[in-house]
C-alpha cells in the first residue's frame, strides 16, 4: 500500500492551518473543494512542490447505493477539480 501524504492548503502564498491527508494530490484537492475552495494551492509536506488546482462544487441527488442517512439530506455536494500545474518553491 502507498503511504499517505499530507498537503497544506495555501492562501496568498502562505500556509493555512488546513491540512489534508491523501495518497494523491487530487484526493486532497477534492477535500478542499468540498469545503468551498475554488483556487486551490496545496503544498506537499516534505517536498518543495505546490500543486495548483481549480475546484467547483455542484449539488446533486445522492446515488441509489448511498446509505439511508445520506439520502435523507436531499442534495449532497459533489466536488470537481482540474489540475493546472505544479510549482516548485
Domains of the chain: total: 1
pLDDT (0 to 100) of residue 59? 93
HEC string for 13-62: CEEEEEEEEECCHHHHHHHHHHCCCCEEEEEECCCCEEEEEEEEEEEECC
pLDDT (0 to 100) of residue 74? 87
Q: What 3-state class would DSSP assign to 72?
A: helix
- Cα distance from N-terminal residue to C-terminal residue, the chain: 28
pLDDT (tens digit, 0 to 9) for every residue of the chain, 89 residues total? Answer: 679 999 999 999 899 999 999 999 999 999 999 999 999 999 999 999 999 999 999 999 999 999 999 888 889 999 999 999 999 99
CATH value at residue 34: 3.10.470
pLDDT (0 to 100) of residue 73? 81
Which structural domain range is residue 62 located in?
A: 5-88
Question: How many residues are given for the chain?
Answer: 89
Amino acid at each position: 500500500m502507498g503511504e499517505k501524504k499530507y498537503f497544506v492548503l495555501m492562501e496568498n502564498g502562505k500556509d493555512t492551518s488546513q491540512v489534508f491527508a491523501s495518497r494523491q494530490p487530487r484526493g486532497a484537492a477534492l477535500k478542499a473543494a468540498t469545503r468551498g475552495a475554488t483556487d486551490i494551492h496545496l503544498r506537499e509536506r516534505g517536498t518543495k512542490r505546490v500543486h495548483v488546482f481549480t475546484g467547483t462544487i455542484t449539488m446533486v441527488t445522492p446515488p441509489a447505493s448511498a446509505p439511508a442517512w445520506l439520502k435523507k439530506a436531499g442534495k449532497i455536494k459533489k466536488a470537481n477539480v482540474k489540475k493546472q500545474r505544479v510549482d516548485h518553491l
